[in-house]
Structure 1
């Protein structure tokens, strides 16, 4: 009993230590004018010495020498850059805190087929990691449950809320499928023989096919009013068959991607390819099929001995040249803060700065179904903006000074800044 109580106490302390004490921003109380900044609008190019006016959380005017409303708060951003905020796709933010502490790990569910799982249910808005992510200009994250094959549904959350309810931008927006392996793993840690691996791959493919057959039968029966009961698994997948939900397929190997393309075409799903490490090998094919791609290996090492060292860096430019509709992600949680720099690195290897910025702002907004309110600086959209003294995509020059989510000013304090201030005073 004493050992049990000690373990419970340790877990409790770990959770307490992992919670930040930063209060979410208060709703916008007065008109706010950002004056004389360099506006990176994404949709209408770069505007120099321009203004942005936002009222009640929405952008009401964008232009040069705008009239200042009465009682407006005027913020001089001369010489500074104003961007739409960064949207991070394919993350486990708020689901993981300290990987070595089981009590702070809630990203995965047991089982091969768990479409009923919703990532936002386990989301911890008090995660100590979240303020460090915001500090690099990221305001929204797609929170994705982890698992084996069908892992559950993701949600898009803004990163300055008291609970997942008030952080919700769009809940249960799509189902996630890890496409089964198609090759043989020769890594030193793989203990199974090639025959055992092939058998396991084939079995996983059968499980996926059987699951979608059952889900489609459930959908058809519900449409016909012939259901005798409710199955939460197939209820979670209903939207895939009527187009109200998106299928996010995680696949990296070229053979996986080709199989996924055939599979989704058969069902006619609205789908997005996630990961896509080998997308450069079939860029023309993806473009022709109008596949939306979220490239999730922007800093990855070469996956084959004959690949160039910079293949991961150059892939976004190759996709753009082929006409692929793509975004850039940085899967994970604490390292998601490097997403703007991944886009900047892609710009150094062939993307234009405008394409790189779009890949982490407007394109994610489009893929997640929120482009009507996020992803660019336009009248009518949310005043969810980043002000930086330097280039947002430059790890050396970036200097985020202010952040707004729906007009609310976000406190940029975080654990990293606190530790920096502390140890700067050490003799």
Structure 2
């Protein structure tokens, strides 16, 4: 093949990729929501209200005025102008929070131009998921009609992948969706284990690379600490005439080394978790959160003693062939029993809608119903410092909640209404539209 032919083929491939993208986006647009959300004053009456922080209110009322919950309780006088929703026989829950996803950053895994969750390079603290969120993602309506109203969406590539954002799953722009634009920075911990049977490195090579990776990480944080001190000294000294040169990566690390933005550390293996615990002791001024921790049940006491919260899932296969199949389901309960604060994090995109079932498995395998409910609501809110806004049904908090006819951890449960920031969301998604389209297909009527 000549060079000219290669150029032509490359050009044609680009055109075909662009055409495919337009077609896919067109298909997504066709399956998107056509209804508008309602906004105003609502009164949910005669319902069982699961406040999470203040018990269960039977035959209760929730008043929503604009973006806020204004009253919760029984025998509440409903002012004029409120649209009433009869919750008889139904349950009201706080909106669920998935504490670790790529929702809004990735659309179609096989189409590179629809993926914005990864960047080149190992250290990208300046990368912000907030700026890349796609409010029109077809995965968002699919997720929120299942009761998930908020997610942490974060970059995933490299060693220090970038900063994740906490968003509402309703809005027309990242600004209108953001609850906390810079919620945490994501660190992928280097593993001291081989990658699998295909990894032909010797044990010495594995250990050498692991130590080299840790040294690079420590050096990067050391530079960030020096940069932070230099900039703080400059800002606090009005006699300084010359400002130090700015570095965008180091600038982005300032709020991290100051402890204002926590570090989510993705780590799974027992030995790596223990290494992380020791490593975090070197940086007492910084905040740390563990994510994944599939071997967490093996070292739950050590994690609890270190005071590190954990973001966990349950729908995965055991880490070792000889592990009992129940271990993934039991992991959250064993961590909680040791004194660890746990929150649910699916780590997914299109399957973030399954977050309630992650919590459901945890509830039935040791965590318990009430603690599982906390793990997907108030615990996540507290871990990320937004418990004054989200995570429970209380007067003054943001009106993120949903109404269900049963247990939201059960797949047969039916969610009838979802509110996000006081907006009554259309209960429509691509899944629902396809379900209705193909329901009774081919059936003939007289």
TM-score by length of 1: 0.95
- What are the ranges of 5 or more consecutive residues in structure 2 without an aligned counterpart? 1-7, 235-241
Q: Distance in 2 between matches of 1:416 and 1:227?
A: 55
CA contact (8 A) 2:32 2:430 kept: no
1:354 to 349, 356, 370: 370
| 2:418 paired with 1:403 | yes
Structure 1: distance between partners of 2:38 and 2:408: 25
1:42 to 48, 52, 77: 52
SS in 1 for 2:402: strand
1:214 to 205, 223, 227: 223
1:272–1:293 CA contact under 8 A, matched in 2? yes
Alpha-carbon separation, structure 2, partners of 1:245 and 1:368: 9
State the distance in 2 between where 1:233 and 1:100 align: 30
Mapped to 1, the partners of 2:366 and 2:402 lie a distance apart of 25
Offset of residue 262 of structure 1: 2.0
Match of 2:347 among 331, 334, 339: 331
For the Cα contact (< 8 Å) 2:194–2:201, is it kept in 1? Answer: no
User: What displacement does 1:380 show?
Assistant: 0.9
Aligned-residue offset at 1:25: 5.0
Offset from partner CA, 1:337-388 (integer Å, 9 cap, x none): 1110111111111222110110000011111111101000111111111101
Residues 37 and 426 in structure 2, CA contact (< 8 A), matched pair in contact too: no
Aligned partner (choices 51, 54, 70) of residue 64 of structure 2: 54
CA, structure 1 residues 382+23, in 2 after alignment: closer, same or farther (shift >3 Å)?
farther
Q: How far is the alpha carbon of 1:422 from its aligned partner?
A: 1.0
After superposition, residues 83-102 of structure 1 pair within 5 angstroms as 83-102=93-112
Which residue of structure 1 lines up, in the alignment, with residue 239 of structure 2? none
Q: What residue in structure 1 maps to residue 89 of structure 2?
A: 79
Aligned residues: 423
| TM-score of the aligned structures, taking structure 2 as reference length | 0.91
Task: Say if 2:24 is the partner of 1:14.
Answer: yes
Contact kept in structure 2, 1:118 and 1:172, CA below 8 Å: yes
Alignment partner, residue 421 of structure 1: 436
Higher mean Cα deviation, 148-157 or 264-273?
Answer: 264-273
Q: Deviations over 1:231-276 (max 9, x none)?
A: 1111111112222111111111122222222222211111111111
- Give the structure 2 partner of residue 200 of structure 1: 209
SS state at 1:87 partner? strand
Residue pairs, 1:367-406, within 5 angstroms = 367-396=383-412, 398-406=413-421
Deviation of 1:97 after TM superposition, in Å, equals 1.3
CA deviations on 1:20-68 (whole Å, 9 max, x unpaired) are: 5326855732x31110111111011112111111212211111112111
Structure 1 residue 306: deviation in Å? 3.0
Q: Secondary structure at the match of 1:341?
A: helix
User: What residue ranges of structure 1 are gaps of 5+ in the alignment?
Assistant: none
Partner of 2:159: 149
Deviates more, 1:10-19 or 1:179-188: 10-19
Say if 2:149 is the partner of 1:139. Answer: yes
Distance change in 2, residues 1:389/1:254 (3 Å): same
Provide the C-alpha distance between the structure 2 equivalents of 1:195 and 1:322, rounded to a whole number of angstroms. 35
Displacement after TM superposition at 1:201 (Å):
2.0
Matching of residue 128 in structure 1 with residue 143 in structure 2: no
Shift of residue 208, structure 1, vs aligned partner: 0.7
Of 136-145 and 323-332, deviating more is: 323-332
SS of the equivalent of 2:63 reads strand
